[in-house]
Structures are given as structure tokens and as C-alpha cells.
Amino acid sequence: MQYKELRKILENKIAPKIFKKTSEFYGIQYGDIYDEKFIKKIMITIDPSLKAIYHAIKNKVNLIISHHPLLKKPAFNFDKKLINQLNLLSKYPISIYILNSSFIAAENGISQTIADILYLKTEKLFEIKNNNGINVPIGRICSPKNYQEEKKQFHLKDLLRRIIMNFNLEIIEYVGNLEKEIKQICIVGGDSENIIYLKNALKYNCDCYISSYINYEKAIYASDLGLALINIPHYGAEFYTLKKLYNYLSLEFPFDEFIIYESKNPFKYYQREII
């Protein structure tokens, strides 16, 4: 394929450029590439980490598609990590394309993928206005499918069990009463830094808010307002979405090669020993 063919799909469907934040990087962040350049091998990854870059070079990849950037902000000095990344990249002609938060809001992005994995019915889009005045569908407002159809009550503990099973987790962080009935759920697959998101979720009459960015301040705020919170591991939600992206691009460009780099969840869990 030519780069312009892939770029058109990335900018318009996979991670719509119109959804990007003015403060973040989007598109080609590293490498010399032009529209007519032919690309035969693409690697998809969550982060352009040292191990991911090494894997791309080892497999002679032309282009890395990464959710997260090499740098979030302009560099005023080079730390050891960045120097090592650039040293590796300089050894092989490779480019890096960054999807960033546009990949969260996309039609088949992270927020929608979480809803699909949890077998939830998407009722409406959860939109946030960006700096350009455009409504970005950063999240999804959902309801539980089978319970709604069977007219049975769906509790917070039922949702937690579904998350643990469907995401293959051992533990899950949450705020709220396990017996609380859940009728409306707001899912934001990332970029949930602002407490205004929680306020807006309440305006939609949501009983529960699911994200990967829940801190102490949000937990206390939600607890005071009676809004249940669930913190899904960031890595899990992203990797499932990247698998969908891999399948989609493989079908769209059947004569080109795509690989997905699984860096594994960097977090490990230590349990107290029973004496």
C-alpha cells in the first residue's frame, strides 16, 4: 500500500483527526515519510517503548502505529530513555504514527470496545466539547443488555463479576455499594482527567462510571454523590482494541503484513503471605 491510503483510513475512521486535542500530538511523530511511499509491514503497539521499537526493527517493520506517543510534550532536554529510543530508531528507516486520544472516541475505539466486551447496549454517545468547539464522543452511555430484556435487576456486584470474567482479571478497583442497582453506565476508555466528566455522567442519570483513570479525588467526589466507580486496567482495554484494529487493517490491506506487539501489562500484583 501507499502511505496515503493508510493515512486516509487512520485519520477518518480509526482515530478521526477531527477528534484530536490541540494540546496533544497526532500523526507522524518520527521518521521521514511521504504520501506515495510504499509500506509493506506495519506494527501496532500501545507504546513505542524500547522493547517495542526493538521488536519492530528485528521484524523489519516500515511503520509503527502506536496509541501513545514517544513524547507527550516538546522536549527541552533528552533523558536516558528518549536517547535510547532514538538510538534504536536511527539504526533502521522506520516511522511512528500516533493515534492518541482520538482512538478512544472513534466508532470502534477504546470506549466502544469496553462496552462490547462487557455485553452492554450503547444507548447514546457521551460527548465532550474540545478546544475547537467540536463535540467529541469520548465515551458511551450504556445499559445492561440481557438484564434489561429479562426485566431483572442488575447490581454493581454483577457488573464487577462480568468485568473480572471478560477481562480475565484477578482484582478490580471500585467505589460504591455492591447491592446498588445499575441501570445506566458511562464508559470513558481513557482521558478521564477532569472531574467534570463525572458531573456530566450524573446529568445523563448514570449510576456507574467506568474508566482507566480514577484517582482519590474522583473516588471521594463520586462516593459523596452516590455514583459507583470502576477502574479498569488501562492496558487491558487498550490491547483488546488494538486487536480489533489489527483485524480491521489486515482485511482492508490483505496484501500487506501487520503484526501486533504485546508488551504485557507492566503492573504485577503482590499478595500478603499467610503465616
- The predicted-structure confidence for 112-168, as pLDDT tens digits, reads as follows 999 999 999 999 999 988 777 888 999 999 999 766 566 688 999 999 999 999 998
Where exactly are the structural domains of the chain? 3-103+237-260, 109-232
CATH tag for 109-232 (out of 3.90.1150.10, 3.40.50.2300, 3.40.50.460, 3.40.1390.30) = 3.40.1390.30
pLDDT confidence of 275, banded at 50, 70, 90?
low
Q: What pLDDT digit, counting tens, does each position of 218-252 carry?
A: 889 989 989 999 998 878 888 899 999 999 999 99
Let me know if the fold of 3-103+237-260 is the same as that of 109-232: yes
CATH code given to domain 3-103+237-260 = 3.40.1390.30
- Tens digits of residue pLDDT in 50-91: 999 999 999 999 999 999 998 876 666 667 777 788 888 888
265 vs 235, more confident = 235
DSSP the chain: -BHHHHHHHIIIIIS-GGG--TTS--EEEES---TT-B--EEEEES---HHHHHHHHHTT-SEEEESS-S-SS--SS--HHHHHHHHHHTTS--EEEE-TTHHHHSTTSHHHHHHHHTTEEEEEEEEEE-TTS-EEEEEEEEEEHHHHHHT---BHHHHHHHHHHHTT-S--EEES-TT-B---EEEE-S----THHHHHHHHTT-SEEEES---HHHHHHHHHHT-EEEE--HHHHHHHHHHHHHHHHHHHSTTSEEEE-----S----PPPP-
The reply to whether the predicted model has a pTM over 0.85 is: yes
